[in-house]
Chains A and B, each alone.
Chain A
Amino acid sequence: MSRLHTFTYLFILLLFLGAMPFALSAQEEQEPDGDFQERPEEKEPPAEGYPEEEQFLEAYDLGSQIFTIDAGFFIPLFFHFPAASDNEDVSTFEPAFGQLSLGGSGSLSWGSYLTPRFAIGVELAGSFSFTPNGYVNSLIPITMFTEYLFRYGSFEFPVSLQGGFVINRVQDQLYMGPIAIPGISGYYNLNAEWGLGLSLDYWWVPEIYFDKSENSSFGNFLELSFSARYHFS
Protein backbone atom coordinates (compact mmCIF):
# COMPACT_ATOMS: atom_id res chain seq x y z
CA MET A 1 0.00 0.00 0.00
CA SER A 2 2.79 2.39 0.91
CA ARG A 3 4.27 1.86 -2.55
CA LEU A 4 0.88 2.70 -4.07
CA HIS A 5 0.70 5.88 -2.00
CA THR A 6 4.18 6.83 -3.08
CA PHE A 7 3.27 6.43 -6.75
CA THR A 8 0.07 8.42 -6.22
CA TYR A 9 1.95 11.33 -4.59
CA LEU A 10 4.56 11.32 -7.33
CA PHE A 11 1.86 11.34 -10.03
CA ILE A 12 0.07 14.27 -8.41
CA LEU A 13 3.37 16.11 -8.01
CA LEU A 14 4.23 15.59 -11.67
CA LEU A 15 0.81 16.81 -12.73
CA PHE A 16 1.23 19.88 -10.60
CA LEU A 17 4.71 20.65 -11.87
CA GLY A 18 3.58 20.07 -15.46
CA ALA A 19 0.67 22.45 -15.07
CA MET A 20 2.69 25.17 -13.35
CA PRO A 21 4.16 26.85 -16.43
CA PHE A 22 0.74 27.11 -18.08
CA ALA A 23 -0.79 28.39 -14.88
CA LEU A 24 1.95 31.00 -14.46
CA SER A 25 1.70 32.00 -18.07
CA ALA A 26 -2.06 32.38 -17.76
CA GLN A 27 -1.56 34.47 -14.67
CA GLU A 28 0.91 36.71 -16.49
CA GLU A 29 -1.60 37.30 -19.22
CA GLN A 30 -4.56 37.80 -16.97
CA GLU A 31 -3.24 39.41 -13.82
CA PRO A 32 -1.34 42.58 -13.23
CA ASP A 33 2.08 41.96 -11.69
CA GLY A 34 1.99 41.56 -7.95
CA ASP A 35 -1.77 42.01 -7.66
CA PHE A 36 -4.24 39.45 -6.50
CA GLN A 37 -7.40 39.23 -8.53
CA GLU A 38 -10.58 38.00 -7.02
CA ARG A 39 -12.46 35.29 -8.77
CA PRO A 40 -15.34 36.86 -10.68
CA GLU A 41 -18.74 35.94 -9.64
CA GLU A 42 -20.47 33.44 -11.78
CA LYS A 43 -23.40 34.91 -13.61
CA GLU A 44 -26.71 33.30 -13.60
CA PRO A 45 -27.83 32.05 -17.02
CA PRO A 46 -30.42 34.31 -18.64
CA ALA A 47 -34.00 33.37 -17.91
CA GLU A 48 -34.71 32.72 -21.62
CA GLY A 49 -31.59 30.54 -21.83
CA TYR A 50 -28.53 31.00 -24.09
CA PRO A 51 -29.18 31.77 -27.79
CA GLU A 52 -28.94 28.77 -30.08
CA GLU A 53 -26.69 30.61 -32.59
CA GLU A 54 -23.66 32.38 -31.31
CA GLN A 55 -23.04 35.92 -32.63
CA PHE A 56 -19.55 36.65 -33.99
CA LEU A 57 -17.91 39.95 -34.73
CA GLU A 58 -17.16 40.56 -38.44
CA ALA A 59 -13.45 40.54 -39.26
CA TYR A 60 -13.60 43.66 -41.45
CA ASP A 61 -15.56 46.85 -41.45
CA LEU A 62 -15.45 50.32 -42.86
CA GLY A 63 -11.82 51.36 -42.81
CA SER A 64 -10.37 47.86 -43.06
CA GLN A 65 -7.92 47.71 -45.94
CA ILE A 66 -6.40 44.99 -48.07
CA PHE A 67 -3.26 44.84 -50.14
CA THR A 68 -2.99 41.98 -52.61
CA ILE A 69 -0.16 40.72 -54.77
CA ASP A 70 -0.72 38.14 -57.51
CA ALA A 71 1.58 36.24 -59.87
CA GLY A 72 0.65 33.39 -62.15
CA PHE A 73 -0.24 32.11 -65.58
CA PHE A 74 -1.98 33.90 -68.41
CA ILE A 75 -3.98 31.64 -70.67
CA PRO A 76 -5.21 32.98 -74.05
CA LEU A 77 -8.65 31.54 -74.87
CA PHE A 78 -10.17 32.99 -78.05
CA PHE A 79 -10.78 36.12 -80.08
CA HIS A 80 -14.35 37.07 -80.89
CA PHE A 81 -14.92 38.94 -84.17
CA PRO A 82 -18.57 40.06 -84.18
CA ALA A 83 -18.30 41.42 -87.75
CA ALA A 84 -16.56 38.37 -89.17
CA SER A 85 -19.11 38.20 -91.97
CA ASP A 86 -17.49 41.36 -93.41
CA ASN A 87 -13.97 39.97 -93.14
CA GLU A 88 -13.14 36.87 -95.13
CA ASP A 89 -9.88 36.34 -93.23
CA VAL A 90 -11.45 35.51 -89.88
CA SER A 91 -14.19 33.43 -88.32
CA THR A 92 -16.49 34.72 -85.58
CA PHE A 93 -14.42 32.86 -83.01
CA GLU A 94 -10.71 32.45 -83.64
CA PRO A 95 -8.68 30.36 -81.19
CA ALA A 96 -6.13 32.44 -79.32
CA PHE A 97 -4.16 29.69 -77.65
CA GLY A 98 -2.50 28.50 -80.86
CA GLN A 99 -1.59 32.06 -81.79
CA LEU A 100 -0.42 33.15 -78.35
CA SER A 101 1.69 31.13 -75.98
CA LEU A 102 0.95 30.41 -72.35
CA GLY A 103 2.00 33.64 -70.71
CA GLY A 104 2.59 35.19 -67.36
CA SER A 105 0.75 37.76 -65.32
CA GLY A 106 1.03 39.73 -62.14
CA SER A 107 -0.82 42.42 -60.27
CA LEU A 108 -0.84 44.70 -57.27
CA SER A 109 -4.04 45.95 -55.75
CA TRP A 110 -5.29 47.98 -52.84
CA GLY A 111 -8.81 48.00 -51.52
CA SER A 112 -10.90 49.22 -48.65
CA TYR A 113 -14.03 47.78 -47.10
CA LEU A 114 -17.15 49.89 -47.09
CA THR A 115 -19.12 47.24 -45.25
CA PRO A 116 -17.98 43.99 -43.60
CA ARG A 117 -18.43 42.16 -46.88
CA PHE A 118 -18.11 44.78 -49.61
CA ALA A 119 -14.88 46.44 -50.71
CA ILE A 120 -13.71 48.67 -53.52
CA GLY A 121 -10.19 49.37 -54.72
CA VAL A 122 -7.75 49.88 -57.55
CA GLU A 123 -5.46 47.44 -59.32
CA LEU A 124 -2.46 47.66 -61.62
CA ALA A 125 -1.83 44.44 -63.52
CA GLY A 126 0.24 43.20 -66.42
CA SER A 127 0.45 40.18 -68.64
CA PHE A 128 2.61 38.93 -71.48
CA SER A 129 2.46 36.14 -74.02
CA PHE A 130 4.20 35.44 -77.32
CA THR A 131 2.94 35.35 -80.91
CA PRO A 132 3.99 32.55 -83.33
CA ASN A 133 7.05 34.53 -84.38
CA GLY A 134 8.08 35.46 -80.89
CA TYR A 135 6.64 38.95 -80.63
CA VAL A 136 5.40 39.95 -77.20
CA ASN A 137 1.75 40.81 -76.71
CA SER A 138 1.45 42.76 -73.49
CA LEU A 139 -1.69 43.88 -71.69
CA ILE A 140 -1.47 46.40 -68.87
CA PRO A 141 -4.85 47.00 -67.23
CA ILE A 142 -5.43 49.84 -64.79
CA THR A 143 -8.73 49.14 -63.11
CA MET A 144 -11.01 49.77 -60.20
CA PHE A 145 -12.71 46.83 -58.58
CA THR A 146 -15.63 45.97 -56.41
CA GLU A 147 -15.55 42.84 -54.30
CA TYR A 148 -18.00 40.85 -52.23
CA LEU A 149 -16.58 38.54 -49.61
CA PHE A 150 -17.85 35.11 -48.67
CA ARG A 151 -16.36 33.61 -45.50
CA TYR A 152 -16.21 30.10 -44.16
CA GLY A 153 -14.09 29.63 -41.09
CA SER A 154 -10.52 30.57 -41.93
CA PHE A 155 -11.32 30.59 -45.63
CA GLU A 156 -12.37 33.62 -47.62
CA PHE A 157 -13.81 33.70 -51.12
CA PRO A 158 -13.90 37.19 -52.63
CA VAL A 159 -15.91 37.56 -55.84
CA SER A 160 -14.82 40.61 -57.75
CA LEU A 161 -15.50 42.66 -60.85
CA GLN A 162 -12.85 44.97 -62.27
CA GLY A 163 -13.37 47.69 -64.84
CA GLY A 164 -10.99 50.17 -66.35
CA PHE A 165 -8.74 50.64 -69.32
CA VAL A 166 -5.94 48.56 -70.73
CA ILE A 167 -2.82 49.30 -72.71
CA ASN A 168 -2.56 46.57 -75.35
CA ARG A 169 0.62 46.29 -77.37
CA VAL A 170 2.24 44.03 -79.98
CA GLN A 171 5.15 45.00 -82.26
CA ASP A 172 4.50 48.60 -83.35
CA GLN A 173 0.77 48.49 -82.69
CA LEU A 174 -0.65 50.10 -79.57
CA TYR A 175 -4.28 50.15 -78.49
CA MET A 176 -5.77 51.69 -75.38
CA GLY A 177 -9.30 50.63 -74.61
CA PRO A 178 -11.63 49.30 -71.96
CA ILE A 179 -11.36 46.04 -70.06
CA ALA A 180 -13.60 44.07 -67.73
CA ILE A 181 -12.31 41.35 -65.42
CA PRO A 182 -14.70 39.23 -63.35
CA GLY A 183 -12.96 36.90 -60.96
CA ILE A 184 -13.08 34.72 -57.91
CA SER A 185 -10.41 33.93 -55.35
CA GLY A 186 -9.96 31.54 -52.47
CA TYR A 187 -7.77 32.41 -49.47
CA TYR A 188 -6.75 30.59 -46.34
CA ASN A 189 -6.07 33.07 -43.59
CA LEU A 190 -2.83 32.17 -41.86
CA ASN A 191 -3.52 34.78 -39.19
CA ALA A 192 -5.45 37.99 -38.78
CA GLU A 193 -3.24 39.76 -41.30
CA TRP A 194 -2.09 37.35 -43.98
CA GLY A 195 -4.05 35.12 -46.31
CA LEU A 196 -2.72 32.92 -49.12
CA GLY A 197 -4.66 31.47 -52.00
CA LEU A 198 -5.49 31.20 -55.67
CA SER A 199 -7.25 33.62 -58.01
CA LEU A 200 -9.09 32.95 -61.23
CA ASP A 201 -9.84 35.97 -63.41
CA TYR A 202 -11.42 36.25 -66.83
CA TRP A 203 -10.06 39.08 -68.94
CA TRP A 204 -12.50 40.48 -71.48
CA VAL A 205 -10.70 42.98 -73.72
CA PRO A 206 -12.73 44.82 -76.36
CA GLU A 207 -10.77 46.24 -79.28
CA ILE A 208 -13.21 48.47 -81.10
CA TYR A 209 -12.56 50.24 -84.39
CA PHE A 210 -15.07 52.60 -85.88
CA ASP A 211 -13.27 53.06 -89.22
CA LYS A 212 -12.55 49.36 -89.82
CA SER A 213 -15.27 47.66 -87.84
CA GLU A 214 -14.65 44.31 -89.54
CA ASN A 215 -11.41 44.11 -87.54
CA SER A 216 -13.08 44.92 -84.20
CA SER A 217 -12.69 42.10 -81.78
CA PHE A 218 -12.94 40.96 -78.18
CA GLY A 219 -10.00 39.20 -76.61
CA ASN A 220 -10.79 36.55 -74.02
CA PHE A 221 -8.16 35.37 -71.58
CA LEU A 222 -7.93 33.50 -68.31
CA GLU A 223 -5.56 34.39 -65.49
CA LEU A 224 -4.75 31.76 -62.88
CA SER A 225 -2.52 33.14 -60.17
CA PHE A 226 -1.14 32.59 -56.75
CA SER A 227 -2.22 35.31 -54.44
CA ALA A 228 -1.18 36.78 -51.11
CA ARG A 229 -3.42 39.22 -49.27
CA TYR A 230 -2.51 41.49 -46.37
CA HIS A 231 -5.18 42.98 -44.10
CA PHE A 232 -4.64 46.14 -42.15
CA SER A 233 -6.55 49.09 -40.80
Chain B
Amino acid sequence: MSILKYKTQLRRALTGIVTLALLSLLSIGCNQDGVGIFYSISQEKEQITSKISEVSVYQVVDAGSYTYALGGRTVWQQSGNNWNNLGGGYAYNIVADSGTSTLYAYFNNDDTSLTDGRIKSYTGSAWSPADSFSDDGKLIDIGNDTFALVVRGSTDPTLYITNDLTTPPAVTDAGNVVDTVSIVGGTNLGSTTHYLISDSTVYSWDSSSPNTLADLSLSNPEKTGNFAAITSNGIDTLYLVTTSGQVFSSDGTSLVYITTVGGSVEAEYGAASVVDISGPKLMIGTDDGYYLMELNGTIIESPDDYAASYPELAAALVHQVYQKTATDDIYLATENGLWKRTATGEFERQ
Protein backbone atom coordinates (compact mmCIF):
# COMPACT_ATOMS: atom_id res chain seq x y z
CA MET B 1 0.00 0.00 0.00
CA SER B 2 1.35 3.36 -0.94
CA ILE B 3 2.04 6.09 1.58
CA LEU B 4 -0.81 8.09 0.04
CA LYS B 5 -3.32 5.31 0.68
CA TYR B 6 -1.92 4.87 4.16
CA LYS B 7 -2.47 8.52 4.96
CA THR B 8 -5.98 8.41 3.51
CA GLN B 9 -6.88 5.37 5.60
CA LEU B 10 -5.47 6.95 8.73
CA ARG B 11 -7.37 10.16 8.11
CA ARG B 12 -10.63 8.22 7.69
CA ALA B 13 -10.02 6.32 10.86
CA LEU B 14 -9.31 9.47 12.84
CA THR B 15 -12.40 11.15 11.37
CA GLY B 16 -14.47 8.19 12.46
CA ILE B 17 -13.10 8.31 15.99
CA VAL B 18 -13.76 12.03 16.30
CA THR B 19 -17.30 11.61 14.93
CA LEU B 20 -18.04 8.82 17.38
CA ALA B 21 -16.68 10.92 20.25
CA LEU B 22 -18.91 13.83 19.25
CA LEU B 23 -21.91 11.52 19.03
CA SER B 24 -21.13 10.28 22.52
CA LEU B 25 -21.00 13.80 23.90
CA LEU B 26 -24.22 14.76 22.13
CA SER B 27 -25.99 11.75 23.51
CA ILE B 28 -25.28 12.65 27.15
CA GLY B 29 -28.44 13.16 29.12
CA CYS B 30 -30.82 11.38 26.80
CA ASN B 31 -32.80 10.07 29.75
CA GLN B 32 -34.87 13.00 30.85
CA ASP B 33 -37.78 10.90 32.07
CA GLY B 34 -35.95 8.60 34.46
CA VAL B 35 -34.20 9.23 37.73
CA GLY B 36 -30.96 7.56 36.63
CA ILE B 37 -30.42 3.95 35.63
CA PHE B 38 -27.48 3.21 37.93
CA TYR B 39 -29.15 5.21 40.69
CA SER B 40 -32.34 3.15 40.28
CA ILE B 41 -30.41 -0.10 40.30
CA SER B 42 -28.41 0.87 43.38
CA GLN B 43 -31.62 1.66 45.24
CA GLU B 44 -33.79 -1.24 44.09
CA LYS B 45 -35.06 -3.43 46.92
CA GLU B 46 -35.84 -7.07 46.40
CA GLN B 47 -39.52 -7.81 46.91
CA ILE B 48 -41.06 -11.03 48.01
CA THR B 49 -43.60 -12.51 45.67
CA SER B 50 -46.82 -14.15 46.71
CA LYS B 51 -50.02 -15.19 45.01
CA ILE B 52 -51.33 -11.62 45.01
CA SER B 53 -48.12 -9.90 43.96
CA GLU B 54 -49.13 -9.93 40.33
CA VAL B 55 -52.79 -8.95 40.63
CA SER B 56 -54.45 -5.60 40.99
CA VAL B 57 -55.35 -5.16 44.65
CA TYR B 58 -58.23 -2.87 45.57
CA GLN B 59 -58.78 -3.04 49.33
CA VAL B 60 -57.30 -4.28 52.59
CA VAL B 61 -59.14 -4.68 55.90
CA ASP B 62 -58.59 -6.27 59.30
CA ALA B 63 -61.21 -8.51 60.87
CA GLY B 64 -60.32 -10.16 64.12
CA SER B 65 -56.78 -11.45 63.95
CA TYR B 66 -56.76 -11.74 60.18
CA THR B 67 -55.91 -9.35 57.38
CA TYR B 68 -57.89 -9.66 54.18
CA ALA B 69 -57.32 -8.21 50.74
CA LEU B 70 -59.51 -7.82 47.72
CA GLY B 71 -57.42 -8.47 44.65
CA GLY B 72 -58.27 -9.58 41.16
CA ARG B 73 -61.98 -9.92 42.09
CA THR B 74 -61.02 -12.44 44.75
CA VAL B 75 -60.89 -12.17 48.54
CA TRP B 76 -57.54 -13.25 50.04
CA GLN B 77 -56.64 -14.04 53.64
CA GLN B 78 -53.11 -13.37 54.84
CA SER B 79 -51.23 -16.38 56.16
CA GLY B 80 -47.65 -15.59 57.10
CA ASN B 81 -45.93 -14.31 53.98
CA ASN B 82 -48.56 -15.74 51.73
CA TRP B 83 -52.19 -15.11 50.91
CA ASN B 84 -54.89 -17.72 50.48
CA ASN B 85 -57.78 -17.41 48.07
CA LEU B 86 -61.09 -17.59 49.94
CA GLY B 87 -63.28 -18.07 46.86
CA GLY B 88 -66.95 -17.17 47.14
CA GLY B 89 -67.46 -15.64 43.69
CA TYR B 90 -66.54 -12.36 42.06
CA ALA B 91 -65.98 -9.89 44.88
CA TYR B 92 -66.32 -6.14 44.42
CA ASN B 93 -65.98 -4.67 47.91
CA ILE B 94 -64.99 -5.81 51.37
CA VAL B 95 -65.60 -4.23 54.77
CA ALA B 96 -64.87 -5.44 58.29
CA ASP B 97 -67.04 -5.22 61.37
CA SER B 98 -64.51 -4.89 64.17
CA GLY B 99 -67.21 -5.46 66.79
CA THR B 100 -67.96 -8.97 65.56
CA SER B 101 -64.61 -9.68 63.84
CA THR B 102 -66.58 -10.42 60.70
CA LEU B 103 -65.58 -9.79 57.10
CA TYR B 104 -68.30 -8.82 54.65
CA ALA B 105 -67.94 -8.85 50.91
CA TYR B 106 -70.18 -7.74 48.10
CA PHE B 107 -70.13 -10.38 45.37
CA ASN B 108 -71.71 -10.33 41.99
CA ASN B 109 -71.79 -13.71 40.35
CA ASP B 110 -72.91 -12.15 37.11
CA ASP B 111 -69.55 -10.63 36.32
CA THR B 112 -70.75 -9.19 33.02
CA SER B 113 -74.04 -7.42 33.61
CA LEU B 114 -73.78 -7.36 37.43
CA THR B 115 -77.32 -8.54 38.09
CA ASP B 116 -76.58 -11.17 40.73
CA GLY B 117 -75.35 -9.25 43.75
CA ARG B 118 -74.89 -10.89 47.17
CA ILE B 119 -73.49 -9.88 50.51
CA LYS B 120 -71.68 -12.67 52.30
CA SER B 121 -69.99 -12.83 55.68
CA TYR B 122 -66.82 -14.67 56.65
CA THR B 123 -65.72 -15.35 60.18
CA GLY B 124 -62.66 -17.48 59.49
CA SER B 125 -63.99 -20.72 58.03
CA ALA B 126 -66.57 -20.29 55.26
CA TRP B 127 -68.73 -17.75 53.51
CA SER B 128 -72.28 -17.35 54.77
CA PRO B 129 -74.96 -15.53 52.75
CA ALA B 130 -76.26 -12.36 54.34
CA ASP B 131 -78.38 -10.77 51.62
CA SER B 132 -78.90 -10.74 47.88
CA PHE B 133 -79.74 -8.17 45.23
CA SER B 134 -80.23 -8.17 41.53
CA ASP B 135 -78.06 -5.14 41.01
CA ASP B 136 -74.58 -3.74 41.07
CA GLY B 137 -73.70 -2.70 44.61
CA LYS B 138 -71.00 -1.16 46.75
CA LEU B 139 -70.24 -1.54 50.44
CA ILE B 140 -68.51 1.39 52.12
CA ASP B 141 -67.09 1.57 55.63
CA ILE B 142 -68.07 5.01 56.91
CA GLY B 143 -66.39 4.59 60.29
CA ASN B 144 -67.31 3.45 63.77
CA ASP B 145 -68.61 0.08 62.52
CA THR B 146 -71.19 1.74 60.34
CA PHE B 147 -71.61 0.81 56.71
CA ALA B 148 -73.21 2.36 53.67
CA LEU B 149 -74.52 0.17 50.90
CA VAL B 150 -75.20 1.73 47.55
CA VAL B 151 -77.19 -0.43 45.19
CA ARG B 152 -76.93 0.84 41.66
CA GLY B 153 -79.18 -0.65 39.12
CA SER B 154 -81.19 0.45 36.18
CA THR B 155 -83.08 2.78 38.49
CA ASP B 156 -81.80 5.49 40.80
CA PRO B 157 -79.08 4.39 43.18
CA THR B 158 -80.38 3.40 46.60
CA LEU B 159 -78.49 4.16 49.79
CA TYR B 160 -78.75 1.96 52.87
CA ILE B 161 -76.89 2.73 56.05
CA THR B 162 -76.60 0.22 58.84
CA ASN B 163 -74.40 -0.78 61.69
CA ASP B 164 -75.57 -4.38 61.54
CA LEU B 165 -74.89 -6.43 58.45
CA THR B 166 -75.33 -9.71 60.31
CA THR B 167 -79.08 -10.09 60.17
CA PRO B 168 -80.40 -10.62 56.69
CA PRO B 169 -82.37 -9.12 55.10
CA ALA B 170 -81.81 -5.96 57.10
CA VAL B 171 -80.39 -3.92 54.28
CA THR B 172 -83.18 -4.82 51.88
CA ASP B 173 -85.84 -3.66 54.26
CA ALA B 174 -87.49 -0.65 52.68
CA GLY B 175 -87.34 1.03 56.04
CA ASN B 176 -83.59 1.02 55.86
CA VAL B 177 -83.44 3.01 52.66
CA VAL B 178 -82.12 6.41 53.62
CA ASP B 179 -81.85 8.16 50.26
CA THR B 180 -81.40 7.76 46.55
CA VAL B 181 -77.93 9.20 46.18
CA SER B 182 -74.77 7.57 44.91
CA ILE B 183 -72.23 7.71 47.70
CA VAL B 184 -68.55 7.17 46.87
CA GLY B 185 -67.03 7.48 50.34
CA GLY B 186 -67.63 8.21 53.98
CA THR B 187 -66.01 8.79 57.34
CA ASN B 188 -66.93 9.79 60.87
CA LEU B 189 -66.16 12.49 63.39
CA GLY B 190 -66.81 11.28 66.91
CA SER B 191 -69.07 8.32 67.49
CA THR B 192 -72.30 9.41 65.90
CA THR B 193 -71.68 11.98 63.21
CA HIS B 194 -70.82 10.63 59.80
CA TYR B 195 -69.97 12.42 56.60
CA LEU B 196 -70.58 11.07 53.12
CA ILE B 197 -69.57 12.29 49.70
CA SER B 198 -71.06 11.85 46.30
CA ASP B 199 -69.35 13.10 43.17
CA SER B 200 -70.21 16.68 43.93
CA THR B 201 -71.79 16.92 47.36
CA VAL B 202 -70.83 16.48 51.00
CA TYR B 203 -73.52 15.10 53.32
CA SER B 204 -73.70 14.65 57.04
CA TRP B 205 -75.61 11.76 58.57
CA ASP B 206 -76.59 11.18 62.16
CA SER B 207 -78.95 8.21 61.98
CA SER B 208 -81.71 9.89 59.95
CA SER B 209 -81.51 11.08 56.35
CA PRO B 210 -78.28 12.49 54.95
CA ASN B 211 -78.20 16.27 55.14
CA THR B 212 -76.56 18.19 52.36
CA LEU B 213 -73.91 20.52 53.69
CA ALA B 214 -75.09 23.20 51.35
CA ASP B 215 -73.22 25.98 53.03
CA LEU B 216 -69.82 24.46 52.40
CA SER B 217 -68.34 27.38 50.60
CA LEU B 218 -65.43 26.69 48.27
CA SER B 219 -62.65 29.17 48.72
CA ASN B 220 -60.09 30.12 46.13
CA PRO B 221 -59.04 28.12 44.14
CA GLU B 222 -62.25 26.63 42.88
CA LYS B 223 -62.79 22.95 43.23
CA THR B 224 -61.90 20.99 40.11
CA GLY B 225 -62.95 17.43 39.41
CA ASN B 226 -65.30 15.34 41.54
CA PHE B 227 -64.96 14.34 45.14
CA ALA B 228 -62.93 11.14 45.24
CA ALA B 229 -62.12 10.46 48.89
CA ILE B 230 -63.02 11.66 52.36
CA THR B 231 -61.21 10.90 55.59
CA SER B 232 -60.83 12.53 59.00
CA ASN B 233 -58.60 12.80 61.99
CA GLY B 234 -61.45 11.20 63.93
CA ILE B 235 -61.87 14.29 66.12
CA ASP B 236 -62.71 17.54 64.43
CA THR B 237 -61.40 17.82 60.89
CA LEU B 238 -62.41 16.28 57.60
CA TYR B 239 -60.06 15.93 54.64
CA LEU B 240 -61.48 15.76 51.15
CA VAL B 241 -59.66 14.95 47.94
CA THR B 242 -60.91 15.50 44.42
CA THR B 243 -60.22 13.38 41.38
CA SER B 244 -57.92 16.14 40.10
CA GLY B 245 -55.76 15.88 43.23
CA GLN B 246 -56.98 18.94 45.15
CA VAL B 247 -56.92 18.50 48.92
CA PHE B 248 -59.29 20.38 51.22
CA SER B 249 -59.85 20.37 54.96
CA SER B 250 -63.17 21.11 56.60
CA ASP B 251 -64.65 21.45 60.03
CA GLY B 252 -68.08 20.66 58.57
CA THR B 253 -68.94 24.25 57.78
CA SER B 254 -66.48 25.34 55.08
CA LEU B 255 -63.80 23.95 52.83
CA VAL B 256 -60.23 25.17 53.11
CA TYR B 257 -57.85 24.49 50.26
CA ILE B 258 -54.64 22.82 51.42
CA THR B 259 -52.64 21.69 48.41
CA THR B 260 -52.79 19.77 45.16
CA VAL B 261 -50.99 16.51 44.56
CA GLY B 262 -49.75 15.35 41.17
CA GLY B 263 -51.76 12.81 39.25
CA SER B 264 -55.41 11.98 39.57
CA VAL B 265 -57.20 10.24 42.42
CA GLU B 266 -59.53 7.27 42.07
CA ALA B 267 -62.93 7.48 43.71
CA GLU B 268 -63.78 3.82 44.09
CA TYR B 269 -62.04 2.47 47.21
CA GLY B 270 -60.81 5.25 49.48
CA ALA B 271 -57.49 6.48 48.24
CA ALA B 272 -56.96 8.92 51.12
CA SER B 273 -56.46 8.23 54.80
CA VAL B 274 -55.17 9.94 57.93
CA VAL B 275 -52.41 7.64 59.18
CA ASP B 276 -50.24 7.65 62.25
CA ILE B 277 -46.56 7.98 61.36
CA SER B 278 -45.02 9.72 64.36
CA GLY B 279 -48.23 11.69 64.59
CA PRO B 280 -51.14 12.12 62.22
CA LYS B 281 -50.28 12.49 58.54
CA LEU B 282 -52.39 12.54 55.42
CA MET B 283 -51.58 9.86 52.84
CA ILE B 284 -53.15 10.13 49.39
CA GLY B 285 -52.97 7.58 46.63
CA THR B 286 -52.94 8.73 43.01
CA ASP B 287 -52.51 7.13 39.64
CA ASP B 288 -48.75 7.67 40.08
CA GLY B 289 -47.96 6.36 43.55
CA TYR B 290 -48.75 8.04 46.85
CA TYR B 291 -48.13 11.35 48.59
CA LEU B 292 -47.53 11.71 52.32
CA MET B 293 -48.06 15.12 53.87
CA GLU B 294 -48.50 16.92 57.13
CA LEU B 295 -52.09 17.79 57.88
CA ASN B 296 -51.37 21.37 56.82
CA GLY B 297 -50.41 20.15 53.33
CA THR B 298 -46.62 20.17 53.62
CA ILE B 299 -45.48 17.31 51.40
CA ILE B 300 -43.21 14.80 53.16
CA GLU B 301 -42.96 12.07 50.54
CA SER B 302 -43.82 12.15 46.86
CA PRO B 303 -43.32 9.54 44.14
CA ASP B 304 -39.96 11.01 43.09
CA ASP B 305 -38.62 10.21 46.56
CA TYR B 306 -39.14 6.47 46.25
CA ALA B 307 -39.24 5.93 42.49
CA ALA B 308 -35.68 4.64 42.45
CA SER B 309 -36.21 2.11 45.22
CA TYR B 310 -39.75 1.08 44.32
CA PRO B 311 -40.36 2.00 40.69
CA GLU B 312 -43.45 -0.19 40.38
CA LEU B 313 -45.04 1.48 43.40
CA ALA B 314 -44.19 4.95 42.15
CA ALA B 315 -45.84 4.20 38.82
CA ALA B 316 -48.89 2.41 40.20
CA LEU B 317 -52.49 3.49 40.51
CA VAL B 318 -53.15 3.38 44.25
CA HIS B 319 -56.69 2.20 44.94
CA GLN B 320 -56.67 2.39 48.72
CA VAL B 321 -54.54 3.52 51.66
CA TYR B 322 -55.09 1.53 54.86
CA GLN B 323 -53.31 1.49 58.21
CA LYS B 324 -53.53 -1.81 60.04
CA THR B 325 -55.21 -1.42 63.39
CA ALA B 326 -52.87 -0.52 66.26
CA THR B 327 -49.70 -1.01 64.19
CA ASP B 328 -47.30 1.09 62.15
CA ASP B 329 -47.97 -0.99 59.04
CA ILE B 330 -49.64 0.87 56.22
CA TYR B 331 -50.97 -1.04 53.24
CA LEU B 332 -51.22 0.42 49.78
CA ALA B 333 -53.56 -1.51 47.53
CA THR B 334 -52.39 -0.81 43.99
CA GLU B 335 -52.72 -2.01 40.47
CA ASN B 336 -49.18 -3.39 40.90
CA GLY B 337 -50.00 -5.53 43.89
CA LEU B 338 -50.14 -4.91 47.62
CA TRP B 339 -47.37 -2.97 49.36
CA LYS B 340 -46.78 -2.75 53.10
CA ARG B 341 -44.98 0.28 54.47
CA THR B 342 -43.19 -0.66 57.67
CA ALA B 343 -42.29 1.57 60.60
CA THR B 344 -38.85 2.18 59.11
CA GLY B 345 -40.31 3.58 55.92
CA GLU B 346 -39.31 0.53 53.87
CA PHE B 347 -41.84 -1.18 51.65
CA GLU B 348 -42.47 -4.90 51.42
CA ARG B 349 -44.37 -6.09 48.42
CA GLN B 350 -46.83 -8.74 49.49
Contact = CB atoms under 8 A, between A and B. Distances in A.
A176 interface: yes
A62 B24 contact: no
Given A114-B9, A144-B17, A165 B27 contact: yes
Given A89-B308, A215-B39, A165 B45 contact: no
Contacts of B41: 79, 96, 99-100, 131, 137, 170
Given A173-B31, A174-B30, A211-B32, A132 B10 contact: no
Contacts of B13: 114, 120, 144
Given A144-B16, A175-B37, A133 B1 contact: no
Interface in A168-214: 168-179, 205-212
B199 to A, nearest CB: 33
B218 interface: no
Contact of B27 (A89, A143, A171, A176): A176
B20 A90 contact: no
Interface in B1-44: 1, 6, 9-10, 13, 16-17, 20-21, 23-25, 27-44
Contacts of B25: 178
Contacts of A172: 33-34
Given A62-B1, A114-B9, A171-B311, A216 B36 contact: yes
B46 interface: yes
B47 interface: yes
Given A63-B1, A163-B20, A90 B39 contact: yes
A164 interface: yes
Contacts of A114: 6, 9-10, 13
A175 B24 contact: no
B145 to A, nearest CB: 39
A124 B28 CA distance: 19
Contact of A90 (B23, B43, B47): B43
Interface in B42-68: 42-47
Contact of A164 (B10, B20, B33, B309): B20
Contacts of A212: 35-36
B96 to A, nearest CB: 31
15 contacts: A94-B42, A96-B41, A114-B10, A122-B16, A142-B20, A144-B16, A163-B21, A165-B20, A170-B37, A173-B40, A174-B34, A175-B37, A178-B24, A211-B32, A212-B35
Interface of B: 1, 6, 9-10, 13, 16-17, 20-21, 23-25, 27-47, 308-309, 311
> 6 tightest CB-CB pairs across the interface, nearest first?
A173-B34, A215-B36, A178-B24, A132-B46, A175-B31, A176-B27
